[in-house]
């Protein structure tokens, strides 16, 4: 393995956590999973987004920072690879979609202060799926508070992610996850494993699943 820190990203329902689990098992890697269920503002946000967006995003940022700083600073002699199912920058990307301009500017100032204290991933695996696929996955996993997520919200998140990745020239494996089934189709997982066996310059590299 040529990398020490791999991050899996994508929209809500893209399959990030499933892939992170499989890669962690394959590589015997340390796994960092987002603790989204612990956010008390999440159900409230989906009911009244304008009222609860700022405390929601602030809570997420504080928890992600605490988790990544603690885990990434621990040296594990038996596990040289860490895999995370979220990019810390997602704090800023989601906030850009959910917050009004004045609140976002304040949030951005806080983000910039703490972001520089964290280790950045060596490579990003981004799962890109159409909104219809995301909605199907959201219905399938059946979290009650997610069932009313609007297509426009998912589309805006998707656009924000892809714009940020391309604008910042992040080293990214951009995976077309339209038909992704990492649990049921070994060939899909193998495409990712083969891609991670190579070294890349900065920029985006596009993968299609068979």
Structure-token pair, residue 204: 């985006």
30 has which bridge partners?
Answer: 82
What range defines the domain where residue 9 resides?
5-208
Rg, C-alpha atoms of the chain: 17
CATH number at residue 196: 3.40.50.300
Q: Please give the chain's pLDDT, 210 residues, in tens.
A: 789 999 999 999 999 999 999 999 999 999 999 887 678 898 899 889 999 999 999 999 999 999 888 876 776 655 689 999 999 999 999 999 999 999 999 999 999 999 988 888 999 999 999 999 999 999 998 887 788 889 999 999 999 999 999 888 889 999 999 999 999 999 999 999 999 999 998 899 999 999
Task: Determine if the pTM surpasses 0.75.
Answer: yes
Q: How far apart are CA 76 and CA 177, in angstroms?
A: 32
Provide the number of structural domains found in the chain: 1
Closest CA to 196 of 21, 17, 8: 8
């Amino acid at each position: 393995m040529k990398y020490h820190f791999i991050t899996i990203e994508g929209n809500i329902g893209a399959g990030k956590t499933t892939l992170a689990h499989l890669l962690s098992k394959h590589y015997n890697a340390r796994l960092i999973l987002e603790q989204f269920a612990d956010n008390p503002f999440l159900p409230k946000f989906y009911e009244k987004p304008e009222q609860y967006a700022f405390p929601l995003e602030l809570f997420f940022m504080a928890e992600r920072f605490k988790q990544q700083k603690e885990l990434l600073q621990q040296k594990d002699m038996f596990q040289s690879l860490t895999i995370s199912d979220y990019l810390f920058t997602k704090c800023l990307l989601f906030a850009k979609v959910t917050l009004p301009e004045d609140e976002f500017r304040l949030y951005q100032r806080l983000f910039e202060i703490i972001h520089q204290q964290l280790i950045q991933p060596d490579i990003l695996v981004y799962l890109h799926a159409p909104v219809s696929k995301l909605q199907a996955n959201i219905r399938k996993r059946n979290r009650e508070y997610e069932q009313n997520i609007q297509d426009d919200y998912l589309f805006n998140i998707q656009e924000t992610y892809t714009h940020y990745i391309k604008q910042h020239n992040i080293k990214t494996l951009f995976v077309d996850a339209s038909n992704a089934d990492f649990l049921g189709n070994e060939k899909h997982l193998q495409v990712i494993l083969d891609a991670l066996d190579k070294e890349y310059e900065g920029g985006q590299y596009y993968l299609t699943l068979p």
